[in-house]
Structure 1
């Protein structure tokens, strides 16, 4: 076997055993060093990386055999994507595999998302894949991962996008537990700008979450993965998706859970709030033993205020998050611009005017006897059925009681 072909196969074997959790990068590196030291070219079978992984007891022959379909899939993808050199797999899921690659014509690094062959005969999967490419291509913003190309080569559908060297917010949270208010706002503001651009262009993302926020090595913040994005005006898609919950359970909005036809930008504001909640507290807003249990809590459970879990964050940031996560979307921010305005205001150490106004209106509504369902007000930490007298009411009552007592005391002293 030619040396270059052997090296390519060894590279794929090394990537796959690490991706599957069968070996660590250091174990693969050790076997590569043993291979280089022992390989005299006399026996290609014994010269393979797989041989040394088995010989060192890191994997078994049966495990190597079970990896064969993955290796064949990667080889086929590489052969059928002309103009690109695949350099490694960045990630894989049920819907797609993402590779790091080099675009040969421009000699630049890109990321290529490839639809698995098992989905290529399913028109629904193929259409959703191309819809992602079309949505991304219509968005041009420094805080959104840029689309480059979408097409078909051989049996493969692929989507080429900007390669981002860095990490995700999810990885940061896994390492640090939670982020400071300053760190969180430095991430949240660029993402709010990205969402504002998408919303102004008529698109909703529908899957804002820590795994879809990239932090580049040079300090930029980018919103990634338009896999669930669609145009608000696409009524055909809305009808086709009616009654189905599209999104990630930990960050999904109540209206997405219900499968409503008229989901709009406010669903992204909810997901944004849930993501920001996770960033500043280190916990998802609602948890449970399974996706259904988590989604039920998004619909019904009280939200624990984020500043109760992390007292170090400002009251203003806590108010922003609670407004974003109002279960009734009419009680969330009226526009993404208002959200962005409040974020930048809090970053300067000032009160979030839009959120504060909603909080004040909520208190006045209860005093006036309006029901929570009827009033266009922000939902705080209780479900509508449990809302009682507001703090403003009790403060007013206490004030009148104290004044009355003082008045009686003065009369008696005279």
Structure 2
């Protein structure tokens, strides 16, 4: 009888319930077959009967069934799932994904019988006041907004020592998912999407909120083609001088899409930073590549500061000159040269989408340069768009090409004379 009790004690060590869950998750995710799992469980029991301290995860790694990295990810997922089950009023259905700062779950809100997404802050961050404060700021920032193209905030709170943020559940994909598969968006589709996000940003800007992290990963597209701006994790009120002082000199944003003033960590970041990032996102959609590419994040950010932008219509000849001008104005390194409001940007993008010239940005041209411009009431076709006058920043490039051509011709003539 004593021997049976000893064997039972070895077979039911603390944490065995978690190991049972570990095995189930590995099989569900096709990381292991049921036969491999049963074999590893038998090996665990054999080692424990011999007095050795063995775990299912350790044996599965030793036997080559899963890797150490896979074991780590599964355990991390299990921890997050257990955490989420403690949130009252919600039933967790599945794990949607995880980032560096949080794990997101699909859930059902019991009271209203609707699907929601719940972002949960990991325990290791829950004990850090700075991370907790940022987490709640995201929820409060999102709660200030109510727009069809912004993921709606529902609730933010704490349960069982864990902090959570409940938001609208959006069925669909991110723009990043499409770009990662090599998709290059045509001009019409890209403008349709970016126009929606520009309207979302206009709504936020009117309420004094700057997103500061506009990028493909933070833009979701529903099956009906509705674009939604997500993740207010870096959002800040434009007039929040205390936060601005605390963040001065630090670069907050994503390197591929960050504005020059964010790279410099300037105090007075405003809506024009979002316009720049939206322009970088549009650039990526219509060219299939980011505006600036380098080996390190620091190098990429340096290019945003110094490197001239190759116009998108020079990268993708199928694009109109109009969309090229809009993107160049959005991504001007000097923010005073960008659009003076999100509404002006929306007007120009809508015009280009209709085959017309971007009138708002061309307002920067002098009367002499505009004297030959005539606009009909009919939408211009691709050919008409190509005939419209170029922006000032394009003039310098044109002059450069002419000068180079003259120099080349002169050099060729001298060579011919020398040969004679």
Correspondence for 2:349: 343
Matched, 1:277 2:283: yes
Q: 2:176 aligns with which of 170, 176, 182?
A: 170
1:68-107 alpha-carbon deviations (Å, 9 max, x no partner): 6415512431332122222222121221111111212222
Correspondence for 1:189: 195
For 1:186 and 1:269, how far apart are their aligned partners in 2? Answer: 16
Bigger Rg over Cα = 2
1:282-337 alpha-carbon deviations (Å, 9 max, x no partner): 01000100000000000000111100110111111000000000000000000000
Correspondence for 1:90: 96
Contact map agreement 1:323 1:379 (CA 8 A) in 2: no
Correspondence for 2:329: 323
1:129-155 alpha-carbon deviations (Å, 9 max, x no partner): 100000100100000000010000011
Unmatched segments (≥5 aa) in structure 2: 1-11, 46-55, 370-390, 407-420
1:13-33 alpha-carbon deviations (Å, 9 max, x no partner): 467xxxxxxxxx6x45x947x
Contact map agreement 1:331 1:379 (CA 8 A) in 2: no
Matched, 1:73 2:40: no
Displacement of 1:391 in angstroms is 4.8
Cα–Cα, structure 1 residues 58 and 201, in superposed 2: closer, same or farther, change >3 Å?
Answer: farther
For 2:175 and 2:70, how far apart are their aligned partners in 1? Answer: 33
Unmatched segments (≥5 aa) in structure 1: 16-24, 365-377, 382-386, 399-414
Correspondence for 2:224: 218
Contact map agreement 2:284 2:290 (CA 8 A) in 1: yes
Cα–Cα, structure 1 residues 326 and 156, in superposed 2: closer, same or farther, change >3 Å?
Answer: same
Correspondence for 1:156: 162
Q: 2:206 aligns with which of 194, 200, 218?
A: 200
1:352-390 alpha-carbon deviations (Å, 9 max, x no partner): 0011223x25997xxxxxxxxxxxxx8847xxxxx9697
SS class of match (1:60): coil
Output the aligned Cα RMSD: 3.5
Contact map agreement 2:279 2:330 (CA 8 A) in 1: yes
Aligned residues: 354
TM-score by length of 2: 0.75
TM-score by length of 1: 0.76
Q: 2:132 aligns with which of 114, 126, 129?
A: 126
Contact map agreement 1:13 1:71 (CA 8 A) in 2: no
Cα–Cα, structure 1 residues 361 and 169, in superposed 2: closer, same or farther, change >3 Å?
Answer: farther
For 2:87 and 2:181, how far apart are their aligned partners in 1? Answer: 36
Cα–Cα, structure 1 residues 220 and 69, in superposed 2: closer, same or farther, change >3 Å?
Answer: same
Matched, 1:236 2:242: yes
For 1:10 and 1:106, how far apart are their aligned partners in 2? Answer: 34
For 1:254 and 1:61, how far apart are their aligned partners in 2? Answer: 41
Matched, 1:266 2:272: yes
For 2:232 and 2:111, how far apart are their aligned partners in 1? Answer: 26
Cα–Cα, structure 1 residues 133 and 113, in superposed 2: closer, same or farther, change >3 Å?
Answer: same
Contact map agreement 2:22 2:74 (CA 8 A) in 1: no
For 1:121 and 1:379, how far apart are their aligned partners in 2? Answer: 53
Cα–Cα, structure 1 residues 83 and 277, in superposed 2: closer, same or farther, change >3 Å?
Answer: same
For 1:362 and 1:233, how far apart are their aligned partners in 2? Answer: 37
